[in-house]
């Protein structure tokens, strides 16, 4: 099941993992057809694995959010590109293409989101995400007002900021540990009915 390399850290055998980790990994394998390497790369640290994916789910699966799943993956892809994180750009770019049903959008936001074929609301969302990513210390009420002008509530702003902040963590972990994206991600969502 494991195609090397996952990262520069060793990956424990699946059977040796705590039950909840193994269950989560098998679940994602069944759903996706493969195990995204981030699950394997974190599995040698069960407590961090649990916290990482709990945080991920709290943000990316949050049901009461006004951000669509496409919006959220767009934030991830754009800010991960700003951090030059190979794993996250490739893996979340795939999800972005699928959720937005736009095969070109992930490459566009990864290279230069200002040139991407997205809505003005999404552009404002990404402008703010980049502020959180690169200069969070300079954010003030003007940022909130700008976003309010595009219909974003304070809770929406929290969502944008929290997703950006969480993937800033993820980007740093993936880059330092050399996590490599699974080959499957690169083509997902690029062709109609892929696979």
Q: Which residues bind a copy of itself (CB under 8 A)?
A: 8-9, 45, 47-48, 50-52, 54-55, 57-59, 62, 81, 83-86, 89-90, 103-104, 107-108, 110-112, 114-116, 132-133, 136-140, 144, 154, 157-158, 161-162, 164-166, 168-173, 175-178, 180, 183, 186-187, 190-191
Q: Which residue number, 25 or 41, has a Cβ lying nearer to a copy of itself?
A: 41
In the complex, the smallest distance separating the C-beta of residue 15 from a copy of itself, rounded to whole angstroms, is 22
Contact residues for 113 (Cβ-Cβ < 8 A; gap 6+)? 78, 123, 126, 130
Distance, first Cα to last Cα, the chain: 19
At closest approach, how far in Å is the CB of 25 from a copy of itself?
18
CB of 46 to a copy of itself, least distance (A): 9
Which two three-digit tokens encode residue 75?
A: 């934030």
Output the six-digit token pair for 159.
């969502």
Question: CA–CA distance from 93 to each of 76, 90, 155, 181, 190 (Å)?
Answer: 8, 5, 25, 11, 10
């Amino acid at each position: 099941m494991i195609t090397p390399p996952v990262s520069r850290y060793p990956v424990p055998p699946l059977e040796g993992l705590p039950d909840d980790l193994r269950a989560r990994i098998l679940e994602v394998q069944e759903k996706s057809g493969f195990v995204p390497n981030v699950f394997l790369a974190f599995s040698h640290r069960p407590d961090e694995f649990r916290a990482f994916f709990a945080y991920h789910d709290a943000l990316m699966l949050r049901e009461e959010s006004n951000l669509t799943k496409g919006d959220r993956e767009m934030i991830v892809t754009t800010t991960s590109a700003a951090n030059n994180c190979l794993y996250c750009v490739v893996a979340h770019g795939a999800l972005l293409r699928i959720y937005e049903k736009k095969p070109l959008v992930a490459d566009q936001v990864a290279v230069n989101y200002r040139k991407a074929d997205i809505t003005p609301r999404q552009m404002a969302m990404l402008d703010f995400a980049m502020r959180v990513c690169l200069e969070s210390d300079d954010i003030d009420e003007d940022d909130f007002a700008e976003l309010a002008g595009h219909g974003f509530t304070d809770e929406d702003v929290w969502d944008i900021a929290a997703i950006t902040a969480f993937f800033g963590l993820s980007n740093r972990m993936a880059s330092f540990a050399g996590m490599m994206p699974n080959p499957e991600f690169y083509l997902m969502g690029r062709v109609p009915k892929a696979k």
